[in-house]
Amino acid sequence: MSGTDTHDDAVISRQVRRLESLLEEKGIVGGDTVDEVIDGFLAGASPVNGAKVTARAWTDPAYRERLLADGTAAVGELGFSSGGVQKQRLRVVENTAGTHNIIVCTLCSCYPLRLLGPSPGWYKSEAYRSRVVRDPRGVLADFGVTLPESVDITVWDSSAETRYMVLPRRPAGTDDLSEEELAGLVTRNGLIGTAVL
């Protein structure tokens, strides 16, 4: 498995197309309206948002405490939401010297879209969703991440009600970087936990 693995979305795509067709046939909504809603929903979704949250937590200890205590409220302070159409609770889990976190949704591909952007194909794949709970070290190795055996790996399973985001460890030697420069170090995979940053 790697960040470039693909996923066959044929079944889901057919279901979505069928639902759109039914909505149009019943006169409930037109195709243009569906496209506008989807475009509007995705317009503000980006891993840049999660990176900004991370950089703030790295530079503001009080904000970091609020983020870990109530992720939903803390990202709201910066103008972000964790959900989309329906509200979800955001729980932020912090990587430390002794713990590495990784997120998954074993049922589908739930994750904080507004903070991480559209989910990568590998995140939605059956291979990732089933394997990461059984063999997180192996999955991390596939992404090029090798952690000492002394580091515990915790896998967090997202749901329709609760989304997770990983707060990566701040890299050493970054004390002189601005919040904006720190945000530039953070990747989507780091926010999922398949990278250290």
| C-alpha triplet 136, 83, 141: angle, nearest 5° | 15
Q: Is 119 annotated as a binding residue?
A: no
Q: Is 109 annotated as a binding residue?
A: yes
DSSP lists the bridge partners of residue 38 as: none
Per the structure block, which two tokens stand in for 188? 């989507």
For 11, 109, 164, the CA distances from 7, given in Å and listed in that order, are 11, 12, 22
CB distance 165 to 115 below 8 Å: yes
Query: What does the block give as tokens for 21?
Result: 């067709």
What is the C-alpha separation between 52 and 33, in angstroms, rounded?
Answer: 31
Which residues are catalytically annotated? Answer: 105, 108-110
Q: Is 150 known to sit in a ligand binding site?
A: no
Largest CA distance in the chain: 60
Which residues contact residue 191 at a Cβ distance below 8 angstroms, ignoring those fewer than 6 apart?
47, 50, 51, 54, 115, 116, 165, 166, 168
Cβ atoms 192, 103 nearer than 8 A: yes
Alpha-carbon span 4 to 11, nearest angstrom: 21
| Residue 82 known to bind ligand | no
How far, in Å, CA of 194 to CA of 43, rounded? Answer: 25
The annotation places the binding site for Fe(3+) at 105, 108-110
